[in-house]
Amino acid sequence: MYRETDIIQTIPGTDEMVINVGPQHPSTHGVLHLVLTINGEIVKKVEPHIGYIHRSIEKMCESLTYRQFIYSTSRMDYLAAHTNNHACAMCVEQGMGIEVPLRAQYIRVLMDELTRIASHCLWWGSIAMDCGAVTPFFLAFREREMINTIMEETCGARLTMNYNVPGGVMADIHPTFQQSVKDFVRHFRSKIDEYDELVTGNIIFQSRLKGVGKLSKEDAISYGCTGPTARASGVSCDVRKHFPYEIYNQIDFKEITHTAGDSYARYLMRLAEMRESMNIIEQLIDNIPEGDYLAKTKAVLKLPKGEFYSRVETPRGELGVYIVSEGGTTPYRIKFRSPGFSNLSALDHMTRGHKIGDLVAIMGTLDLVIPDIDR
């Protein structure tokens, strides 16, 4: 039976229709909700609706002490929990003036880089899956599993590590840590070449990504993009280089930038970052100095009155932690400047005029993690 209300409605006066992508959709990797205005296959407008898993971590942190609040940040960017904890611990250390032992600094950097590889592995699998190839996802999980095992040995957890505490790390590294990291790097060096053979060289994959979702350098800066997204557009914004924390200023590593600014550049960017992370790990793994892994701190931490901002290069970009302290044991106000939130704001600009299939590829290369956006 045909009724006027039954048929799919277009926006009056145009051929455009509005379509909801998400909150439950295979390519949004979480509960992101995009309202697309499309004309046939062409995307005219993307309007992100977020907040489906907003837990208001910022508000919760206001009633948690400086030791406690770090744990809730693991749940922000759950694929790179270590870097989140790192930024928070650094911010507290900065406020308290705690000197972190060199051993702890080495361990933190090693863990950061392992986290980066693990996160990029998952991203690599999911971008391939967004483009329709399912198999790479399983290959990437094989390598990610090795990192998770290393994390489990030392930190006791696989995903939400909570390994960083103000003053250092929670426990010393596992006796087999160095050996298993070395094994992993040796294994991964050959596997990442396999990744290139399987996906990077594929002509379909290249044609899906090349020239898609261009983001100029000016736009990348204006939209506040950071991390691989911005560096693929030629913005030199690696926090590890420009605002070195821990021992990054003693490590010899390159900041990789591309100038194309399209999805393919972002793809190459992250693969190159994985290789660079392995270089960093190889430089550090044999030279972890002996000594304390945790500085002596008071039982109750009280930050002096003031404002503190610390930043860390997470796999997705610059994570800033802004603490306003009134001198008490809990933060007065805390703000997490999450990289995904700013990167998401550029999505509309990048996607307009492209096809629906491109939207998925662009979202994939932006590497959005929804809890990181929602906080």
For the window 328-347, what string marks contact with another protein as x by the rule CB under 8 A? ----xx-x-x---xx-xxx-
- Give me the residues paired with residue 37 across strands: 18, 45
User: Which residue lies nearer to another protein by CB, 156 or 211?
Assistant: 211
Q: How far is the CB of 139 from another protein (least distance, A)?
A: 7
Answer yes or no whether residue 300 interacts with another protein by CB under 8 A.
no
Q: What angle do CA 232, 237, 239 make, to 5 degrees?
A: 130
- Give me the residues paired with residue 339 across strands: none
Burial class (CB in 10 A: 0-12, 13-18, 19+), 333: middle
Name which of 256, 289, 291, 288 is nearest 273 in CA terms. 256
User: Which residue lies nearer to another protein by CB, 20 or 179?
Assistant: 20
Answer yes or no whether residue 356 interacts with another protein by CB under 8 A.
yes
User: Which residue lies nearer to another protein by CB, 67 or 335?
Assistant: 335
DSSP E strands, the chain: 17-21, 33-39, 42-49, 164-165, 168-169, 306-314, 317-325, 333-337
Q: How far is the CB of 95 from another protein (least distance, A)?
A: 10
Among 11, 15, 39, 63, binds another protein (CB under 8 A): 63
Q: What angle do CA 335, 340, 346 make, to 5 degrees?
A: 115
Please list, in sequence order, all residues whose beta carbon lies within 8 angstroms of the beta carbon of residue 2, skipping any fewer than 6 positions away: none
CA 195: distance to chain centroid?
A: 20
Q: How far is the CB of 341 from another protein (least distance, A)?
A: 6
Q: How far apart are the first and last CA of the chain?
A: 47
Interaction residues for another protein, span 203-242 (CB under 8 A): 204-205, 207-208, 218-219, 221-226, 235-237, 242
Q: How far is the CB of 319 from another protein (least distance, A)?
A: 11
Q: How far is the CB of 374 from another protein (least distance, A)?
A: 7
Among 14, 39, 99, 135, binds another protein (CB under 8 A): 135
Q: How far is the CB of 344 from another protein (least distance, A)?
A: 7
Answer yes or no whether residue 190 interacts with another protein by CB under 8 A.
no
